[in-house]
Structure 1
C-alpha cells in the first residue's frame, strides 16, 4: 500500500466539517467551483489535488500550506516526519523472519541493560542527532522508551540490512561488553533452534 495515500487517508479522517470547508475554500484558485462543490470528504479533496499534481509524495509544500492555514500543527508534524523518513520500507526491504525475531530480542535485552549512556550506542549505529532529539521530545521522561524508539529508528533505516551482529559490534565499540555478552547469551538458544 502506498504510504503517502495512507497518510492522506489518516489526515482525511481527522478533519472536522469546518476544517474541510476551509480547505475547499483555500483551494478555490486551484480547483474549479463545480468540482469543489461535489467534494464531501478530505479523501475526495486529496484525490483531486493528486490528479492535478498539486500534491505528490515528493511535492508536499501546497499541502503543508493548507494545513498551516487551518492550524493543524499535529498533521504538519506527521507530514514533516513522512518527508524526513521517506517512504515506509517496502516489505522486501525487511529482514527475514528469523533475523527480525533475533533483533526484537536483542533490542529488548539492550533496553533492559543500557542506561544513561544510550546515546553513545545510538550514535555508533548512525542515528542522527535530529532524530534522537525528536525521540527525546516525544518521550521526555522515559529513558527506556527513548532508547527503544532510537533502536527502532536504526532498524527502520537499515531495513533488511539490520543485523544483530551490528548491534553487538556497536555495544562492544562503546565498551558495553557486559550488555553485548548478555545479548549473545540470550540469543544462543534461539540460534541453536535454527541449526
Structure 2
C-alpha cells in the first residue's frame, strides 16, 4: 500500500516538473501507444499516465517506457529523471526536500500540514481533502451514504458505478473531484474499481451540498475528455 502511494506521488511530482513544451514532446513520443484522437484529449501528464497504465506500459514495477520517453522529451534534465530513479531506490519524496526551504514548497503540497476545516454537509471537522493517508482520516471513515443522504440517488449512482469504465477519472476531474481525493479513495479500495467510483460520487455529492446535479453529470459525461454520450443520454432521459 505504501509503495503504491509513493508511486502515485512520484507521478504527481512528474506532472508538476514537466514544462508545457516537454509535455507536448512526451505525448508525441507515445504516438505508437496512444492514438491521435486520445492524445488530443490528454491535457496533463496524469491523463497520459492513466492511458499508459491501461496499455500496460506503466506501473510501479514497469517504469522502463516512462524513463525512455522522459529522457527523449526533457533534453537531459536530470532532475526529472531523478524523480523516477529515487522512487526505484525507495527514497520518499518528502525526504528529498530540503528541511529549511519551506518557502519554496507550495502550501497546497500534500506534505505540507493543512488547516483543519469544517464541512457543513458532514457537520464535522476534518483535514483538507487530498492529504496523504498518514495525515488525514480515511475518506471512507468520513463519507457514508447516510451522512450525505445519497439513498434517493442510488439508482443513478449504481448506474454510473456499473457503466463507467477507464474514463472514470476524466469524468471525476470534470466534476471537480481532485486527483488527491481520487488517490485517497483508490488507497482505501485498491481492488475494487466500482467501490472507487462509488466513493468518488458520494464525495462529489457531499461537496455539492448533498445534491446530485443531473445537469452537471450529463455535461461531464459529454465532455471531450470523457465522451460517454450513451450514458449522458440515459441519465438525461432517466432511462436507467
Query: Which TM-score band (shorter chain)?
Result: 0.3 to 0.5
TM-score (norm 1): 0.45
Structure with bigger RCO (C-alpha 8 Å, 6+ apart): 1
- Higher radius of gyration, 1 or 2: 1
Tell me which protein shows more helix as a share of its residues.
1
